[in-house]
Amino acid sequence: MNVLVLNCGSSSIKYQLLNMEDESVLAKGLVERIGLDGAVLTHKAKGEKHIYNEEIPSHVKGIRMVLNALTDEKAGVIASMEEIHAVGHRIAQGGDLYRTSVLVDNKVKCGLTSLFDLAPLHNPPQFKGIEAIENVLPGVPNVATFDTVFHQGMPPEAYMYALPYELYEKYGVRRYGFHGHSHNYVSKRAAQILGRDLKDLKLITCHLGNGSSLAAVKGGVSVDTSMGFTPLQGLVMGTRCGDIDPAIIPFVMDKEGLSSKEVDQMMNKQSGALGLSGISSDFRDIEEAAKEGNQRAQLTLDVFHYRIRGYIGAYAAAMNGVDGIIFTAGIGENSPATREACLTGLDYLGLKLDPEANNVRGEEKVFSTADSKVAAMVIPTNEEVEIARETVRIVG
């Protein structure tokens, strides 16, 4: 069974075509600058890269180009569109409405549009992807998978905010959490690597990329996670501030004369590592600057690591212990220095690191010592395969 996995943004489409007999990737690529000048499709298949520069005014056009590339004589990997058996869509926010992935029908489409308010930047373009597939591949099943679903097992004490209860009832104001496909994938993989049953494990999964979040995964269920009502809460991220005193928001709005939109923009786009360092949102640049003695770069790294250590402590407490701490995504997979700094001072958990084993990038590795009570691991994430597995499970 071949599954096309789609992740649509407002001006982009990321895709992978997977053969689910062996979970191999047949082709993958990216459509960028939809509706803008310089639109381009970059398609990778059979070890080669193909670039298509064309006007791409809409997601429908972008998806048509992807399907043409997939079936192209030279760049293609399938003979016809009939070899795409299902499409799995990444949808950011499932709210309280979706506790599992679902097959898209008219009722689900109404449900999805009712969630636009909760994720106005992410859900509407992802919904456009579903409509585009309905248009271009009529009759092929669409499955909606959600970044929030993995965290639906959180108990109320972890997901409720101490705000007037009516805000939860009227608008669904609560913690949802995100990056669910990634936290789910690496937890399952950690159990396989450790040769243990996931049901018996207490894991802390650290997804550290442009957006970052931690999850406490007990027996395969996410019981807490650092992102909240939106992906703004929690850790220091590339450009997002993460946790702050909420009273800072009206204070800054008054002092700087900012509107709610402007302050939201400030917290999402001009804060985090970029705001604190004044250098870049990319941790490679910040690590480099810190090495050269830039103090604000060092401060940024210190705040980033300190907050992660705090969450690790909180989640070990929430689960009454921890068997494994897993690092994944751009920073987690590629920065030995970050992993070491995040795990420094955790001897109280019985964690012992093997610095030599930690010196890896982008590959699976256990980097704790054999006698460490907690396993420290690097596991490259694979959100696409998780979406494709869900799609196969739903389509049956």
State the residues that interact with ligand ADP by CB under 6 A: 209-211, 238, 282-284, 287, 329-331, 334-335
Nearer to ligand ADP, 134 or 282 (CB): 282
Tokens for 384?
């696409």
Among all chains, which residue has been given the structure tokens 């604000």? 296
Three-class SS of residue 5? strand
CB of 75 to ligand ADP, least distance (A): 25
Contact 92, 146 (CB under 8 A): yes
| Residue whose C-beta lies closest to ligand ADP | 330
Residue (of 43, 41, 36, 61) closest to 52 by Cα position: 41
Q: Nearest distance from residue 260's CB to ligand ADP, in Å?
A: 25
Q: Where are the alpha helices (DSSP H) in 320-362?
A: 329-334, 336-342
Please state the closest distance from residue 281 (CB atom) to ligand ADP, in A: 6
Rounded CA gap, 299 and 273, in Å? 10
Q: Which is nearer to ligand ADP, 86 or 276 (CB)?
A: 276
> What is residue 353's DSSP assignment?
B
| CB-nearer residue toward ligand ADP: 14 or 188 | 14
Q: How does strand 86-91 pair with strand 102-103? A: unpaired
Catalytic residue numbers, as ranges:
147
Q: Across-strand partners of 372?
A: none
Helices (H), 281-359: 283-291, 295-319, 329-334, 336-342
CB 211, min distance to ligand ADP, A: 5
Look up residue 155 and give its amino acid: P
Rounded Cα gap, residues 86 and 139, in angstroms:
9
Rounded to the nearest whole angstrom, what is the least distance from the CB of residue 241 to ligand ADP in the complex? 16
Is residue 58 within 8 A of residue 131, CB to CB? The reply is no
CA dist 78 and 30 (Å) reads 18
Q: Which of 70, 66, 118, 65 is nearest to 91 (CA)?
A: 118
The type of residue at 77 is V
For residue 256, count CB atoms less than 10 angstroms from its CB and return exposed for 0-12, middle for 13-18, buried for 19 or more.
exposed
CB of 33 to ligand ADP, least distance (A): 17
Give the residue with the Cβ less far from ligand ADP, 32 or 323. 32
| Residue (102 or 378) nearer to ligand ADP, CB | 378
Q: How far is CA 317 from CA 88, 310, 314, 320, 368, in A?
A: 36, 11, 5, 5, 21
Round to whole Å and give the CA distance between 322 and 209: 23
Shortest distance in whole angstroms from residue 209 CB to ligand ADP: 3
